[in-house]
Amino acid sequence: MATPRPQGLPNAQPFNAALSLVSDPLMQLALGCLSSDEQRALERDLALASQVQRQLLPPRDLRFSDWQIHYQYNPAGIVSGDYCDLIPPTNEDGKLMFLLGDVSGKGVAASLLMTHLHATFRTLASMDLELQTLTGIANRLFCESTSAGQYATLVCGRASATGEVEIVSAGHLPALLVTANGVKELSATGIPLGIFSTSTYTVHRTQLRPGDSLFLFTDGVSEAYDPSGCEYGIAGLARSAGERYRWAADELVSGCREDVERYSGGARPTDDQTLLAIHFTEAEDVTFQAMAAQREVEFLSEGA
């Protein structure tokens, strides 16, 4: 995956460009020195790593109270540096935790850091911590276990049954709040994880109304290019999401991804692409779904 462009840090683009320049030639040189048997062994290891990484992903569709959650996780290669997780509450009064992130670097190194984030947040989620405290601890642990220049942008949030959402964004691309009044960008509330061990983070709180959605994505989506080299951009994604206000989470994600694919002319993505939608359903939608489920149960009972 490409190194994520940190939000809120100056002069990030030259640093990212330098990393991308040294990565590919070294990889090509290393592979060229391997025998055919060694290359096949490497392929098997990478395939196993991909399988392990996918097993860490949560269910693609999740329902919590009146929330519908859906994501699509599309690595550009065998393994990915994108991070996505959904952690349901352990009790009825709890909140759903959602996370979407992007680790710097490419390939196996980035995927290892992704699994490190997964383990860290899964552990911290079981503790009764405020979101800003939880993110601060995760940042310190990430700093202590990574090398200089390695970092991760991340959105960490919680959704309550009432429709309230709280978000910490560690240098990640803006979350898109899709409402009847348009699309609002929720910007970063701190710098990426792994930069400074003493970094602090603030929480953004917002109340979603029935029909609203929160839409998250990694830079492989917004940085897709058309055949002429023009970037799709956050504005293009916001426009696509805004046209799908009130759409179910899976339809919102699929529709936006299709728009990106059309824009890029069907070209194969060069970076990992992950999209996550969190949709607060309307009361009539919930009622309809419950009625449909009940009718199915009655139909099966009659058939028996």
Q: Please write the tens of the pLDDT for every residue from 11-50.
A: 443 333 333 333 445 555 566 687 887 777 777 877 777 7
Residues of the chain short of pLDDT 50, as ranges, are 1, 10-24, 285-295, 297, 299, 304
Asked if 171 and 7 touch (Cβ cutoff 8 Å), the reply is: yes
pLDDT on residue 18:
34
Per the CB < 8 A criterion, the answer to whether 4 and 219 are in contact is yes
Write down the pLDDT at residue 1.
47
For residue range 136-153, list pLDDT tens digits in order. Answer: 999 999 999 988 889 999
Is-contact 5 12, C-beta < 8 A? Answer: yes
List the domain boundaries for the chain.
12-302
Sign of CA dihedral 105, 188, 196, 117: negative
| Exposed/middle/buried for residue 264 (C-beta within 10 Å: 0-12, 13-18, 19+) | middle
CB neighbourhood size of 131 (10 A): 21
The whole-number pLDDT of residue 202 equals 97
Assign a CATH topology to domain 12-302: Phosphatase 2c; domain 1 (3.60.40)
What pLDDT was estimated at residue 28?
56
Which two tokens mark 300? 């099966």
pLDDT recorded at residue 297: 47
